[in-house]
Amino acid sequence: MTSTLAPPQAAVARTEHATKVYGSGETAVRAIDDVTVEFAAGRFTAIMGPSGSGKSTLMHCAAGLDSLTSGEVFVGDVALGSLSDRELTLLRRDRIGFVFQSYNLIPTLTALENITLPSALAGRKPNREWVDGVIETVGLRDRLSHRPSELSGGQQQRVAVARALATRPQIVFADEPTGNLDSRAGAEILEFMAQAVRDLAQTIVMVTHDPAAAAYADRVVFLGDGKVVGELADPTAESVINRMQQLGG
């Protein structure tokens, strides 16, 4: 597989003093509070933290699904804060891939149609060769004409990963992608994602609370109470658990 390898340290997406406040006055909750973080190209970053630490909010804001109260998010060199709904939508469609925890697929479409849906929405023909490679990688060749209801949970997530990769997005955001899967299926999904980073130089940001999942990443960003409270490079399950214990998690 040939692909342009970006310089390893260039940030594909970053946040600057990102703050998101829900509610106002006495009941205001700062879901993320002055978070400045970079997601380097070709890297697999995991965002970890306990429930309510703001990890999902950070991901949603970084992915253009939610807006910040203050601060800024950049995807490439585009500042998301100034974009209209339509521009945001097109940005998500063309530059970002998504894998959610559940309900990732359109039930009326086949696996293949789901995988090529972002291209179809853009009115473009998918890059056949690339898509074939992705499908091969996630091992879905014989399931392409099945509809989601005919696939197992693991297979559905594989379709979701394939869809996220199919448009060769600048960055893929995955929100607890293995949260609903048994450990074997989960491991498979994580392996595909790691492989995509390794072989295809894909940039992936994954939110998880599972140290074993985080171990597949190149780097772990720890969040607590809406702030970045630590980082870990080349994590293993043990080192992640240790760090979490240090952080009092």
Partner 1 sequence: MSDAHRHVKGLLAHKRRLVGTFLAVFIGVAFLSGTLVLGDTMRGNFDTLFTEANAGTDVVVRHASQLSTDPGEPDSQRGLVDASAVDRVRNVDGVAAAAPSVEGFGQLVGKNGDKLGGNGPPTLAGNWIENRDLNPYRLVDGRAPRADGEVVINRGAANDGNLRVGDTTTVQAPEPIPVKVVGIATFGSSDGLGRVTFTAFTLESAQQHLLHRTDQVGSISVKAQPGVSQDELVERVQRVLPDGDEAITGAKLTNENTSDINKEFLDLFTTFLTVFAGVALLVAAFSIYNTFSIIVAQRTRESALLRAIGAGRSQILASVVFEALLVGLVASAVGLLGGVGIAGLLKVLFDAVGFSLPAGGLVFNASVVVISMIVGVVVTLLAGVAPAVKASRVAPLAAIRDVSVERTTASPRRAITGVALTAIGVGVVLTAVLSGGDSVLALAGLGALLTIVGVLVFGPVVARPASGVIGAPLRWLRGVAGSLARQNAMRNPRRTSGTAAALMVGVGVVTLFTIFAASLKSAIDDSVSKSFTGDLVISTGTFGGGGISPQLAGDVAQLPEVRDATGLGRGRALVGTGTENVTIADPARLGGVLNLDVTDGSVRSLSSQQLAVSERIADDKGWKRGTTVPVTFSDGATTEFTVGAIYKARDIAGNYILPRAAWTPHAVQDIDSTVLIRLKNGVALETGRHAVERTASAYGAPDVEDRGQYADSVGQFVNMMLGIVYVLLALAILIALMGIANTLSLSVYERTRELGLLRAIGETRRQVRSMIRWESVIIAVFGTVGGLGVGVFLGWALVEAASQGTGDMIAPSFTAPVGQLAVLLVVGAAAGVLAGLRPAHRAAKLPVLRAVAAE
- Provide the binding-site residues for partner 1, judged by CB under 8 A: 56, 60, 65-66, 85-86, 89-90, 92-94, 98, 100, 103-109, 117-118, 120-123, 147-149, 163
For residue 6, give the nearest of 216, 219, 203, 217 by alpha carbon: 203
CB of 233 to partner 1, least distance (A): 30
- Which tokens in the block code for residue 204? 């992936």
Residue 31 C-beta-side C-alpha neighbours within 13 Å: 19
Element (H, E) at 58: helix 55-62
Task: Name the packing angle between helices 183-200 and 128-138 (round to 10°).
Answer: 140
CB of 121 to partner 1, least distance (A): 5
SS3 for 84?
A: coil
SS3 of 156-202: HHHHHHHHHHHCCCCEEEEECCCCCCCHHHHHHHHHHHHHHHHHHCC
60 vs 158, beta carbon nearer partner 1: 60
- Which tokens in the block code for residue 179? 């949260």
CB of 227 to partner 1, least distance (A): 22
Please give the Cα distance from 193 to 155 (Å, whole number): 14
CB of 159 to partner 1, least distance (A): 12
65 vs 237, beta carbon nearer partner 1: 65
CB of 36 to partner 1, least distance (A): 22
209 vs 219, beta carbon nearer partner 1: 209
What residues are paired with 190 via a beta bridge?
Answer: none
10 vs 106, beta carbon nearer partner 1: 106
CB of 76 to partner 1, least distance (A): 16
57 vs 235, beta carbon nearer partner 1: 57
For the four alpha carbons of 204, 106, 168 and 13, in that order, the dihedral sign comes to negative
151 vs 244, beta carbon nearer partner 1: 151
